[in-house]
Each structure stands twice: as structure tokens, then as C-alpha cells.
Amino acid sequence: MLLVYTVLSATDDRAPAGFAGIPIGLILSVIILCGIPVTNGSFNPARSFGPAVLVGGWALTQLWLFFVAPLVGGAMAAVAYIGIREPAPMITARQAERALPSEQAERRSAR
């Protein structure tokens, strides 16, 4: 959930362009450094699938979690992001016309 939320936030149209890799890389590092020692799990379902097939038994019974948990986490992140994100301010056409009077003056002088 944290990774998906960070990706949504860092790639928002109001976020600074070109810097999305920094928060995404930092949150991925934190998740890996804190999560793997505690849970001994992987963050890649394909990487979990191969060893589980080879081991069989108990590993196959737990395999569903590596596919369901990212989907649930992604859905939770999307709901949280939509709930927390402030909507972009809406302006009327009249406000937009008055927003840049210097640009309007340049257009008049170019004619």
C-alpha cells in the first residue's frame, strides 16, 4: 500500500516534474529494509511463485497471499489517495482571461 500510494503521489500532475524516482526509491528501500527481516517475504509475486512450486506443501498453501495482498494494498492506496488528495482549484473562463494580463497585452501588440 505504501509503495502504490507513494507512486500515485509522486507522479501526480501537481508534483514536481522529474523527481518521482526519489520518493519511490526511498519508500522501496524502507519497505525492503524493514519488511524482509520481519516477514521473510518477497515483494515480487513471481519470485515467490517459483520457490513455492519447488517446495510444495505448506508453501503452496500460502502462495495465494502473495497475489491477493498486493491487489488489496493497491486498492487501499487508491482509495486513501483519492480521499486525501485535494481537488485542483477550478477557475472560470473569466478568471482565466484575467489571470495573465501581460500575455493578453503581448497578443494585442502582435496583431
Q: Residue 88 belongs to what domain range?
A: 2-110
- The pLDDT confidence band at residue 107, using thresholds 50, 70 and 90, is low
Nearest alpha carbon to residue 45 among 21, 27, 23, 70: 70
- pLDDT for 1-57, tens place per residue? 999 999 999 998 888 888 999 999 999 999 888 888 887 777 777 887 888 888 888
CA distance 47 to 62: 14
> Which cell numbers in the block locate residue 38?
520481519
Look at the chain and report how many structural domains it folds into: 1
The answer, yes or no, to whether residue 108 has pLDDT greater than 80, is no
Name residues whose C-beta falls within 8 Å of residue 20's C-beta, 6 or more positions apart in sequence. Answer: 7, 10, 11
Distance from chain centroid for Cα 1 = 9
CATH label of the domain that carries residue 29: 1.20.1080.10
For CA atoms 6, 39, 44, 72, give the dihedral sign: negative
